[in-house]
Structure 1
Amino acid sequence: MYRLLIAAAAASALLAGCAHAPVGPDYVPPAPLSFAHSAYAGTFQSAGGDAAETTLPPHWWRLYDDRQLDALVAQALQHNTDLRQAVANLERDQALAAEVHGYERPTVAASGGPGFGHVSGLSLLQRDDEPPSRGTYSAGVSLSYQLDLFGQLRRAIEAAEAGAGAAQAALDLVRVSVAGGVAHAYAQACSSGYRLRAAQASVRLQEEALRLSERLHQAGKVGEIDISRAQGQLEQLRASLPPLRAQRQGALYRLATLTGAAPRDFPAAVATCERPPRLAGLLPVGDGTALLRRRPDIRQAERSLAAATARIGVATADLYPKVSLGLTASSAGFLARFGNQETLSYSLGPLINWTLPHTGVARARIAQAEAVTRVAAARFDGTVLTALREVETTLDVYARELERHAALSAARDQSAIVARQARTLYANGKTAQIDALDAQRTLAASEAALATSAALLAEDQVAVFMALGGGWEAGELVVNAVQ
């Protein structure tokens, strides 16, 4: 038996010496990942005075210094259903990679078992007695090892490991989406509360204007038409409240499901929030080079390209023979002769499998793999361009909303002055009610527009952070959870 093993090892070494570099193209990372491409490096064009080139921190939501938001993000990163699916997908791809690695090792199989019976009685047809029944046995062991002469196994391992890397990037991408989704839903819930408070303040002011009209009517200074106008304006303001309540409730339901809870189990503290989170100061956006390193979808596209490139080699190896080295040993016979030399048998030698008539099929598969690789390369380039576009767009939208917010704030202040003066003049009988109502309507519209702009600023900041692709980085989440 030892001589057999030595012979098997010698044959394996001899055949392995015939191996050469793996067939198929070697993977070369795309040009944008060299971080020297002029179209991708440098600062963002839309990064104005409200953005800084400082590095985006891993857990960007902590910049808001909001304990409630920190706790919600931590809960979502532990219980979100999309994250659980992504984790399972990663575990599956890691198991597939482990399966491919398993083919690097020899395969051992054993079989055997006892039996009882007799051999065929054809040789005893001329006799009256039956063949005797005896105890029998059979046992065997086989050892096989596939020689990776043309690198098919090595390319398959490359493809499997790249696939696992793509699954890891997909998991990180879901983390970004979950953290950003929680921050967005939280901002929308608080912004809706803020807008609702502003709308309710306008309703209260109009209620006071209605009561003033009623007093003036009782004093005989105004007619019924003034009361009707004031009542109509009040109902219009009240009509703006239900949509805001529905928007806040929808954000609360979305926040609950993002954190892995039932919609009705939304956080009660957020339901009373009336202050949208907003980062004071400059946004840390970094530059294009840091973006390409950080965005998980770019890493996912790059790993998918690497896997597709390796699969070209897997398909190309089908043009060449496959060689497996096998060793089998078995013993079978009657139990009374168990282990006798005449019951033993063995076989040692390579097994060559080469399907020459079907090279056209193999070349068609190579062409398919090459086409898939070109698709993956185009998808990678598109992912890079999309990432840059998203950052530039969100930064520009945020900068323009800041300008709009400043103008709306100035308009609101002027509308408040006009509304106070018009109300005083109307109370003193120096102007018509239509002028006072128009000034009050303008003030209410200015308050609503300013509150909407504040809500958009909070959501735009979250959109910038999501476009930058942060929040997936590994590390312990240290959160001051709200009790």
Structure 2
Amino acid sequence: MRKTAALATALLLSACATAGPDYRPPQQSAANRPSAEGAFLSAKGDAFSPAPLPDRWWRLYDDPRLDALVEEALGANADLRVADANLQRAEAVVREAAAARTLSTGISGGLDLSRQSQTGGALPGVVTDNLGLALSYPLDLRGKLRRAIEASEADREAVEAARDAVRVSVAAASTRAYASVCAANYQLAVSQRVVELQRQTLDATRRLQRGGRGTAFDVSRAAAAVEASSAALPAFTAARQNALYLLATLLGRAPADYPREAAACTSLPRLAGGLPVEDGAALIRRRADIRQAERAIAADTARVGVATADLYPQVSIGGSLGLSGPLEDFGSGDSFGFSLGPLLSWSFPNRPAVRARIRQADAQVRADVANFDGAVLEALRQAETAMETYARDRERAAALRRASDAAALSAAQAGKLFRFGRSDFLDLLSAQASLASAEVNRAAAEASLVDDQIAVFLALGGGWQRDATAPQANP
């Protein structure tokens, strides 16, 4: 009795020692540096705000049509459906790993017809039955199964983070496609106004020619200016249609079923204030790819424990019940048997191989930590780059607006001077050409600003959060 109690105590004590290291977030990582957690260097001026980034940042544009399109994309996008399926698979792997710690059963049975060759007896011989029930419960004294469950749970969380990263990309791509439609229509309208101004000049030139004040050369030069500006119009139409086709694909539709209501957008999406960017610490917490990299460290740390547990015996409690014997004795006491006791397995002869697997797992964790640092640094670089680009493009757009205003004034003055005979027609055409170029460049710069804003939001990692009332994927 004392020996049995001592053995039970030893088993309980050993059960408290789980093989391998417990996971702790890397303390010396790039994510914990003050320079990584502080304010962004590029987020200066009234273009930015330290306010928290909203979960659904596209609503900052206050465009119900855009809101509806993004929500539709988040519910129907093909890439997101793949990501949801991958998450469901990872959840099933967790359940499979957890099931390894439960009682396992096995049932066997059969009938056997045999006749010993030396008896010379007539067929059919002797019919015997064999029916058994086996039970096994793992004690998991060194925590191999617990570590395997930890690894699968961390893997599931990494897959969930990957799914969230897809949501971020889909939200940004849908917003960008819609903005591209609006930008193409906006640039088309600006170019059409330029063409209309040049047509008016062409008509006036023809009237002057008929009145004897102009020449055929003046008319041909004015017509050439109209045709040169008109040549740019089809490209804007194509850009709008291609953006609509892309938007349809993001919404899970065929290109022919593109959203007709989006084609009517003629003004660029506008923000009421500066871009809310918070700081580096908020970015690190929010970015789904950083979370995915951190969860990979946790999963592979648990796998170190799985490999380490192979240095120790694996013990389970097993039992079996069975009936075996001639068929005519089925159910009798002589045919009944049972067994009960611990089952031991141990790869003791292969300890060098186990040590090698432990070193492999350790090396993988170190690689994961380096990958995590790389993900943090790359996320910070992307955010700084996107903000710097946006800030400088705002300055460029402001300069082009001033240039456009100056070109409009110059063209108006040239028109008056020409009508009063104080300048020649070439000066007028030159001024209108400068206006056309300035207007087109200004429109392109303003359209580019919207794309820059979306790039900032994408770099900040917003858009993966789900509403509490949103339908969840079925497990």
Report the TM range for the smaller structure's normalisation: over 0.9
1:95 aligns with 2:92: yes
**Alpha-carbon distance in 1 for matches of 2:103, 2:312:** 21
1:217 aligns with 2:239: no
**Alpha-carbon distance in 2 for matches of 1:317, 1:237:** 75
Match of 1:18 in 2: 14
**Alpha-carbon distance in 1 for matches of 2:209, 2:5:** 111
Q: Does the aligned pair in 2 maintain the 1:33–1:292 contact within 8 Å?
A: no
**Aligned match for 1:27, one of 6, 17, 23:** 23
**Alpha-carbon distance in 2 for matches of 1:214, 1:477:** 66
Match of 2:387 in 1: 395
- TM-score, reference length from structure 1: 0.91
C-alpha distance after superposition, 1:153-188 (max 9, x if no partner): 111111100000001111111111111111111111
Match of 2:101, as an amino acid? Answer: E
Q: Secondary structure at the match of 1:122?
A: coil
- TM-score, reference length from structure 2: 0.92
Q: Secondary structure at the match of 1:323?
A: strand
Q: Secondary structure at the match of 2:315?
A: strand
% same residue = 47
Match of 2:74 in 1: 77
Match of 1:319, as an amino acid? Answer: L
Q: Secondary structure at the match of 1:124?
A: coil
**Alpha-carbon distance in 1 for matches of 2:10, 2:34:** 51
1:162 aligns with 2:154: yes
Aligned Cα root-mean-square deviation (Å): 2.3
Deviation (angstroms), 1:208? 1.3
**1:262-273 matches, cutoff 5 A:** 262-273=254-265
Distance 1:9 1:64, change over 3 A: farther
Q: Secondary structure at the match of 1:302?
A: helix
Q: Secondary structure at the match of 1:333?
A: strand
**Aligned match for 2:452, one of 453, 460, 468:** 460
Match of 2:221 in 1: 229
Q: Does the aligned pair in 2 maintain the 1:116–1:133 contact within 8 Å?
A: no
Match of 1:297 in 2: 289
Q: Which moved more, 1:402-411 or 1:175-184?
A: 402-411
Q: Does the aligned pair in 1 maintain the 2:30–2:373 contact within 8 Å?
A: no
List structure 1 runs of 4+ shifted beyond 4 angstroms: 8-14, 32-36, 131-136
Deviation (angstroms), 1:238? 1.2
1:196 aligns with 2:188: yes
1:259 aligns with 2:251: yes
Match of 1:409 in 2: 401
**Alpha-carbon distance in 2 for matches of 1:101, 1:137:** 36
What are structure 2's unaligned runs of at least 5 residues? 471-475
Q: Secondary structure at the match of 2:35?
A: coil
Match of 2:473 in 1: none
Match of 2:11, as an amino acid? Answer: L
Q: Does the aligned pair in 1 maintain the 2:29–2:373 contact within 8 Å?
A: no
**Alpha-carbon distance in 1 for matches of 2:284, 2:131:** 60
Match of 1:40, as an amino acid? Answer: A
Q: Does the aligned pair in 2 maintain the 1:121–1:130 contact within 8 Å?
A: no
**1:100-139 matches, cutoff 5 A:** 100-113=97-110, 115=111, 117=113, 119-122=114-117, 124-125=119-120, 130=122, 136-139=128-131
1:240 aligns with 2:221: no
Match of 1:462, as an amino acid? Answer: I
**Alpha-carbon distance in 2 for matches of 1:239, 1:22:** 74
**1:366-377 matches, cutoff 5 A:** 366-377=358-369
Q: Secondary structure at the match of 2:464?
A: coil
**Alpha-carbon distance in 2 for matches of 1:10, 1:62:** 67
Match of 1:63 in 2: 60
**Alpha-carbon distance in 2 for matches of 1:230, 1:132:** 111
Match of 2:117, as an amino acid? Answer: L
Distance 1:443 1:32, change over 3 A: farther
Q: Does the aligned pair in 2 maintain the 1:308–1:372 contact within 8 Å?
A: yes
Q: Does the aligned pair in 2 maintain the 1:141–1:329 contact within 8 Å?
A: yes
Distance 1:415 1:132, change over 3 A: closer
Match of 1:54 in 2: 51
Q: Secondary structure at the match of 2:214?
A: coil
What are structure 1's unaligned runs of at least 5 residues? 1-7, 479-483
Q: Which moved more, 1:78-87 or 1:205-214?
A: 205-214
Q: Secondary structure at the match of 1:326?
A: strand
Match of 1:120, as an amino acid? Answer: R
C-alpha distance after superposition, 1:403-460 (max 9, x if no partner): 2222111111111111011122223332111111110011011111111111011111
